[in-house]
């Protein structure tokens, strides 16, 4: 395989820095370019034993670049995407700018790697809470056919980037330091808002779980009711999920399926206080699933409840993007 040139766009952010580590851990043999804003130009980083200087993102940045891993906010992504396309650079993007476009596959490799083949230059990484939920649910969906999900999320501050981490770290020392990434103090608090609300009181983040899950599972009829909450946790999102399925659920079978599910670690021994927790899932790639039980409010046994946690900077963003890259490199 020829050595490819790969650029990380947004290389100094929470996701961008993790992408560099994932490329290194997964031994992707490549020339690496690190791109960020003018503020970061000149910063140094080490990749595969060599020092690399962060460059300012410019129109000419994509010359000779085979793949770009995007880790910038939507407005910045929309600015540089045409520059990348002009150079025929294939982009694997983490922002939500292109996720629902018809000609952009939205991919979790454990679920729909095949969709990558339809790309026209852009492949999108789903929202982090969506990735964690769908990795946890895929085996159950295949067996029992999920029709509806009711989800509450507990999302870490690093989901709002490096500034989110700074806000929590500052405020545990001095709660009077104002938040920059959140509308309120986050230390010793939680905030039931992620993204702007629409006229019906549903936030952008809450819509992503329905719209992106429909696209990934190719099921336009899937119904999702979600409440997204920011919590004072540094890393790893957690989710409480109730699923309603077409078929009656055999709980023993459901647990067996989860034990063998791709990308999942089954941690479910409540009598011995074993269940998923964000401290345990940080800095690794598996989605932990536990607290699995039939919904006692549904006598028809078509509903099941579970709790899952996953590192949203890794599997919810950087690792998922690098897995997509690996699929592209295999082709
Ligand atoms: N954090 C997560 O858990 C997570 C999970 C899934 C998806 N995402 C998505 O991934 C993307 C990145 O998120 P993040 O959390 O990594 O954000 P972040 O920590 O705030 O990092 C943002 C990156 O964008 C760069 N940037 C800002 N303005 C720029 C400009 N004008 N030109 C070039 N680069 C610029 C920043 O560079 P400077 O350092 O130079 O400012 C930094 O490298 C977002 O779309 C986010 O929604 C994040």
Sign of CA dihedral 302, 303, 304, 307: positive
Is residue 114 scored above 60 in pLDDT? yes
Q: Is the Cβ atom of 89 under 6 angstroms away from ligand 1?
A: no
Is residue 1 scored above 70 in pLDDT? no
Q: Is the Cβ atom of 41 under 6 angstroms away from ligand 1?
A: no
Q: Is the Cβ atom of 14 under 6 angstroms away from ligand 1?
A: yes
Q: Is the Cβ atom of 19 under 6 angstroms away from ligand 1?
A: no
Would you say 308 and 243 are in contact if contact means Cβ atoms under 8 Å apart?
Answer: no
Core vs surface per residue 57-76: b (16+ CB within 10 A) or e:
beeebbeebbbbbbbbeeeb
Q: What is the per-residue pLDDT for 331? A: 84
* Structure-token match 């790697």, residue found: 113
The Å distance, Cα 306 to ligand 1 centre, comes to 31
Q: Is the Cβ atom of 10 under 6 angstroms away from ligand 1?
A: yes
C-alpha to C-alpha distance for 70 and 77, rounded to whole angstroms: 7
Q: Is the Cβ atom of 319 under 6 angstroms away from ligand 1?
A: no
Q: Report the nearest-CA residue for atom 29 of ligand 1.
A: 37
The Å distance, Cα 188 to ligand 1 centre, comes to 26
Confidence grade of residue 300 (pLDDT, cut at 50, 70, 90): very high
The model's pTM is: 0.98
* Structure-token match 């409480």, residue found: 240
Q: Report the nearest-CA residue for atom 41 of ligand 1.
A: 37
The Å distance, Cα 77 to ligand 1 centre, comes to 10
Q: Which residues contact 309 (CB under 8 A, 6 or more apart)?
A: 132, 236, 237, 238, 239, 276, 277, 278, 280, 281, 287, 288
Is residue 325 scored above 80 in pLDDT? yes
What the chain holds in terms of domains, given with CATH numbers, is 4-126+317-330 (3.40.50.720), 129-312 (3.30.360.10)
Tell me: the pLDDT tens digits for 17-60? Answer: 999 999 999 999 999 999 999 999 999 999 999 999 999 999 99
Q: Which residues are tagged catalytic?
A: 128, 237
Q: Which atom of ligand 1 is nearest to the CA of 39?
A: 40
Q: What is the per-residue pLDDT for 2? A: 75
Is residue 65 scored above 80 in pLDDT? yes
Q: What is the per-residue pLDDT for 324? A: 98
Residue of 7, 10, 12 best suited for mutating to test ligand 1, as the one with most atoms within 8 Å of CB: 10
The Å distance, Cα 73 to ligand 1 centre, comes to 5
């Amino acid at each position: 395989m020829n050595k490819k040139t790969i650029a990380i766009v947004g290389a100094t952010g929470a996701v961008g820095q993790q992408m560099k580590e994932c490329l290194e851990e997964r031994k992707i043999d490549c020339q690496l370019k690190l791109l960020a804003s003018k503020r970061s130009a000149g910063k140094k980083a080490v990749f595969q034993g060599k020092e690399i200087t962060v460059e300012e993102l410019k129109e000419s940045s994509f010359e000779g670049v085979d793949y770009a891993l995007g880790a910038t906010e939507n407005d910045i992504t929309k600015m540089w995407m045409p520059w990348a396309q002009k150079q025929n650079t294939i982009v694997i993007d983490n922002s939500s700018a292109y996720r629902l476009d018809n000609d952009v596959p939205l991919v979790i490799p454990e679920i729909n790697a095949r969709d990558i083949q339809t790309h026209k230059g852009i492949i999108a990484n789903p929202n982090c809470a969506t990735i964690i939920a769908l990795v946890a649910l895929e085996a159950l969906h295949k067996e029992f056919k999920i029709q509806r999900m009711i989800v509450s999320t507990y999302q870490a501050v690093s989901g709002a980037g490096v500034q989110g981490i700074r806000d929590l770290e500052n405020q545990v020392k001095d709660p009077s330091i104002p938040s920059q990434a959140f509308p309120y103090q986050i230390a010793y608090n939680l905030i039931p808002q992620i993204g702007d609300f629409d006229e019906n009181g549903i936030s952008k983040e809450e819509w992503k779980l329905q719209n992106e899950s429909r696209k990934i599972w190719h099921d336009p009829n899937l119904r999702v009711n979600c409440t997204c909450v920011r919590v004072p946790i540094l890393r790893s999102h957690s989710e409480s999920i109730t699923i309603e399925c077409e078929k009656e659920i055999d709980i023993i079978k459901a647990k067996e399926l989860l034990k063998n599910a791709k990308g999942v670690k089954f941690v479910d021994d409540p009598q011995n206080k074993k269940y998923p927790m964000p401290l345990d899932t940080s800095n690794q790639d598996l989605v932990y699933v536990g607290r699995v039980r039939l919904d006692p409010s549904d006598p028809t046994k078509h509903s099941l409840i579970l709790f899952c946690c996953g590192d949203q900077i890794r599997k919810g963003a950087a690792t998922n993007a690098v897995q997509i890259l690996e699929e592209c490199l295999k082709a």
